[in-house]
Structures are given as C-alpha cells and as structure tokens.
Structure 1
Amino acid sequence: MNTLRAYEADWNDFLAASRELGMASTPTGPVVSIYLDQLARRGAKMSTIQRRLAAINYRLRMSGSDALSARDEPLASVLQGIRRQIGTARRQARPIEIAELRELVSGCGRDPKGVRDRALLLLGFSSALRRSELVGLDWNDAGDGDGWIEPVPEGLRIHLRRSKTNQFGEVEEVAICRGAYAATCPVAAIEAWGAVTETSGPVFQSVDRAGRVGGRLTTGSVARILKGLVAGASARAGASTNEIASASSLISGHSLRAGLVTSAFAAGLTAEDVMRQTRHRDVKVLLGYRRHATAFVANVSGRVGL
C-alpha cells in the first residue's frame, strides 16, 4: 500500500512538472526523458529518479499501454548521462547494532514517551520489521492496521496482512522470543507499553509533552524518534554539536532492521536464519550486511605479520 501511495505521488509530480515545462502529459520517451533530466538538475537522487520512472511505467501498464524501456532512446542516453553526473550509490542507513541498542534503551525514561520508545526500539530491532509494518501494527486483529501482535507463552507472534513484498498474499508471521536480559527483552517492553496505553487500536502511537497518547505513528515518525534517541545518547557521552549531528545523520527508519541483520551475521547466524526473520526473498540483498559484520573475521591484513 505504501508503494502504491508513493507511485501516486510520483505520478502527480510528473503531471505537475509537465504543465510547468509546457509539455504534453502523455508519458512518451522524449517527454519522460526531459522530466527525468529536470529532476537530476533539481538535485534528485538516482534512487528517486528510478522510482519516478517505475511509477510512470506502473501507470502505463495499468492503462493497458507498454512500459518505457530504459534501454531505448532517448531514455537510455539521458539515464546514462544522469548516472555519470550524480552516480548511482545509495545512501545507506547506518545499522543500530546490539551495543548501541543497549545504550539507547538505557537512556529511555520511565515516562510514557520513554516506555514507548523502549518498546519501539526493541520490537523494531528483534522483529526486523520495515518501518511501515512497525507503525501498521495493532494490538489485536480487530484493528484497521496492516498487522497485529499476539502474546504467546514463548513471546510474541506478529501477524502481517500486507507487506512490501506481500501486498495481497496470505498473512505472514514473525516470531519474537523473550530476551535473556530484562532490560532488553522486547516482550517485556511491549507489555510495559501496553500497561501505559489502551491495548486496542494502534500499538505505536504519538505521545505529547504532557504524556498524553495520541494517534498512530507515521513512518517518518520512526526516523525522527531514532535520530532523537541517537542524538541524546551522543550528548550524554559528551559529544560536540558536530559529532552529535554526524552520529544521527545516517540514522533512518531502516536502521533497526539493518541492525538486526548485521548483528545476526556478527553472531555467526546463517543467511537462512536471518531470512526467516527478515523475510528477504533474495540472499544477495543480505551479502552487503554480512560483509560489514564479518569484515574483521579472518581478515588477511591482520594475519600477515604487520
């Protein structure tokens, strides 16, 4: 659902840009090439440009027309030029790994906001849910969200009606075990949060300065909360303003999911173990995390006598 909403916004941007540039709104190769070139000139990232093209092609397919091929001219030459100009490297979210997670959890207060943040950190990390899935959780299956949580003797079962890779399929399930340590047990954190808020409707809700619980968090809220927690931990450690900004700059809503994957590989778990929790369908996506986590394991630079 989030992908479809993003595609709709991208399509509306194309229509607005076409009017502004005095072009026809029919997405032909030349028209789309000019639009993408203008996006690059305005400072758009390559990932944004590729998504805009995907949104336009989605619209074409839904109307019964053929999608535009990035291999055909003039689109091929324009995209090649954009890649040379701005590159194709994606800005990777910095993973929040175990040691940092413990530090962030210890900094959460005992007020409603602190209790919520602790639950968000620990459930987000242990489940490896995408941020849209995390904020879409309800306390039970009677809600209107994209999933719900079920307490079981072993911990929690998370049931997902929809996800990025499963828009219309069967309900997916993610299991969460009880933690070995009370301070970092995701199940205990959720139970504590449930004691603060009503256990109906959205699991993760906004909390104002007076401690009043409000509506469902948005995906953007997750990143803002994480950045704030990281900045707070850096400040408590005596970091400078620049160091605080640097520490939180690459934190995003994806940092908890990336952190579990990285930590799992560092702990020696297999790709199959990790994929069972993250629901990745392609093992190639995980290889970058494994390279980062095991970069100093049997590394030749430390074994040649330097």
Structure 2
Amino acid sequence: MTDLPLVPAGQRVPLPAEFDDRLRARLAELDEASDVHAQGQRPVNTTRSYAADWKTWTAFCETFHIPPTAATRGTLRAFVDFLWNREKRAYATIDRKLAGVTVTLRQQYRVVVDPTATKAARELLKDYRKEAEEAEEPARGRGKAPAMRLDDLRRIVALCGTDIFGIRDRAMLLLGFSIAARRAELAGLRLRNIRDDANGLLVDIRVSKTDPRTVPVPFAKDPDACPVRAWKEWQTAAQILDPNMHAFRRIHHTGSVQPQGLSPQRAGDLITAAGLRAGFEELFTGHSVRSGMATEARRKGKDRKAIAAITGHKDGSKVLDGYMQIVDQWDENDNALIGLL
C-alpha cells in the first residue's frame, strides 16, 4: 500500500471517476491479490459448491442463449423460475446458487451484480415457497438430518469393529460428536489441531463455515465411548506423526493408511455407513453427530451458551433453536400442557 499516491493535507479527495491510470492499475492488482487470498481461505467444500453453482448457471444461460455475464433482474428471476418450476430444486439450494453465481461473476469476470437484481430474484423465490406452503406441497430437499442420540452413538461405535477401519470410524464418530462437527470440519482437522491436555484434548476447529473455535474434550466415564481414548488409539494405529497431515485419512482396501485426508463428502458417507451397519433404518448424515450433541447436551440441562461454545452458533441462532426445540417441547417450563391436564 505504500506506493499508492497519498492525498496531501487540505487537498480535495479525488472521486473514483477521477483516478488516473496508475492508481486504477494498482487497485486492480490489489483486487486480484485479495481474491487469491480469499480463495485460499475459503473451505474446499464452499469452493466446490460455487463451482457447481456456476455450472448450473452456464447450463441455464446456454439453454436460453444468454451470455453468462448478463446477470440482470430479468435473467436472475428467470434462473429462479427455471430451478424452482422446471428442475424442482429446494429453496435453500436455489438461494445458495444465486450467491455462488454473484460471487463467481465478481471474482472471475469483474462483474458486480446489481444488489437490487439479486434482491428481486430472492423475493420471487420467497413467493414461490409461500405459494407451495399454502398449497401444502411437500417440503423440498433432504430435510433436517436426524440427530444421533447418545444411545444411537454407543450402539454404532460398539459395532464399528476392531480393524483399522473400525478404529478410524469409532474415533471420527466420537470426536465428531464431542466437537459438534460438521462433516467439513471433521475432514479439515489436522494433527496440529488436536492437542493433548491433562483433562483430555483441546481441538482447534479452523476449517469451518463459521468462526474458528476451540473445544475442550474431556475423558468420558465410559471408556468404550470415550473420544479421547478413541482418538489416541487411532493416532497410534495410523501412525499419525506429521502435524500438518490430516487427522482422519483414507484407508486402502488392504488396510494401509493413506496420506490423503478424507473429503467432506466421504466423512459424511462413513458416518452414514456406520449407522447402516448398526441396523438403523434412518440415514444418519455428517450433520447428525452435530445435532445429536446439541440435543443431548440440552437434555442434560446444559446452558445454551455452553452448548453454543461447542457448536459455534451465535446467540439467538435459529438453527440452535431448532436443536433446542427437540428437547424443550417436553420441558415443563416450555410445554404448557405438562401438569395442566
């Protein structure tokens, strides 16, 4: 920034239209450098989602013979209409794709989409959802992941097996539950993020869609469901020594642990597979350990702030409220019928 021209004291500050070519070039360099830096900070799954959003957008543009850089009020509304009425996409998916398109246009094509255009597209999307609700149409999308309750978790880890695959899956399930992990957070853990402590482990979650957080994970009373013991068993069996390597790795079918880490999708698939092996008909997902931890903590009477410190939710989070409702609906202070009849 030191080579940018400074405005002497008392001199009128130039407006953007008055910038000279040298300043414009330097600002363009800073824009590009900041984009590269932001790209490096963005979680892999977010980058992958944006790429998928752009692919959907370009396919839409080709169908209707629209240049992909023409993101106007009309084209974005048509995009929403196309995804909702023709492809039957879920509300959250369409909303995210609008964001992915605008971000990609700004970063890769220097096209800044008019905020009123995206607002108009989202208002149309809200109208479509309201019409669907009034018509009592089934909700679109996969819906909420079923919470993996403590009894479920104990049953699943008990049936994980004693080979290297079972050791990894048991550690991933128990640690994932304890830190209320999203699947991307589990996949993003490195050895340096998991530190020993006299009382258990300190787990630094740095790859997250929310702010980074550190979760203190204590030893469990039940050794068979202890995340600390399970992690140490996996670390020893897999010989994880390099602090920069992934905490949870791929395993070759022969049983050899690979240097590559798990993708978020693969981490979620392993959780689903573990539930199926244990005989559960409902499909647990990568999010199930997260919602399960919040639900069980509330059942035990833990304070909302203490739960939010582990999950990373903000005060007043509607998502956290959803977890709490599962439990609070049977709390005598929150259910007016209890003790009334």
Relative to the length of structure 1, the TM-score reads 0.84
Q: Which moved more, 1:53-62 or 1:220-229?
A: 53-62
Task: Give 1:154-303 correspondences, 5 Å limit.
Answer: 154-166=199-211, 172-199=213-240, 200=242, 201-214=245-258, 215-234=260-279, 246-248=281-283, 251-285=284-318, 286-298=320-332, 299-303=335-339
Q: Secondary structure at the match of 1:38?
A: helix
Report the CA distance between 1:71 and its aligned residue.
Answer: 4.7
Compared CA separation, residues 75 and 152, structure 1 to 2 (3 A):
closer
Compared CA separation, residues 81 and 279, structure 1 to 2 (3 A):
closer
Report the CA distance between 1:210 and its aligned residue.
Answer: 2.2
Residue aligning to 2:92? 47
Q: Is 1:21 matched up with 2:64?
A: yes
Unaligned regions of 5+ residues in structure 2, if any? 1-42
Q: Is 1:67 matched up with 2:103?
A: no
Report the CA distance between 1:65 and its aligned residue.
Answer: 4.2
Report the CA distance between 1:60 and its aligned residue.
Answer: 5.1
Indicate the percent of aligned positions where both proteins have the same amino acid.
Answer: 28
The CA distance in 1 between the partners of 2:122 and 2:222, in whole Å, is: 55
The CA distance in 2 between the partners of 1:3 and 1:69, in whole Å, is: 23
Instruction: Tell me if structure 1 keeps the 8 A contact 2:174–2:226.
Output: yes
The CA distance in 2 between the partners of 1:247 and 1:12, in whole Å, is: 32
Structure of higher CA gyration radius: 2
Q: 2:165 aligns with which of 103, 113, 121?
A: 113
Deviation by residue 1:232-252 (Cα, 9 ceiling, x = unmatched): 212xxxxxxxxx5x422xx21
Deviation by residue 1:45-69 (Cα, 9 ceiling, x = unmatched): 1110110112223345553443245
Instruction: Tell me if structure 2 keeps the 8 A contact 1:271–1:283.
Output: no
Tell me: higher relative CO, structure 1 or 2? Use CA pairs within 8 A at least 6 residues apart: 1
The CA distance in 1 between the partners of 2:256 and 2:336, in whole Å, is: 55
AA of the residue aligned to 2:322: G
Q: Is 1:10 matched up with 2:62?
A: no
The CA distance in 1 between the partners of 2:270 and 2:95, in whole Å, is: 28
Compared CA separation, residues 226 and 61, structure 1 to 2 (3 A):
same
* Number of residue equivalences: 281
AA of the residue aligned to 1:263: E
AA of the residue aligned to 1:99: D
Residue aligning to 1:35? 79
Compared CA separation, residues 71 and 172, structure 1 to 2 (3 A):
closer
Relative to the length of structure 2, the TM-score reads 0.76
AA of the residue aligned to 2:155: E
Q: Secondary structure at the match of 1:247?
A: coil
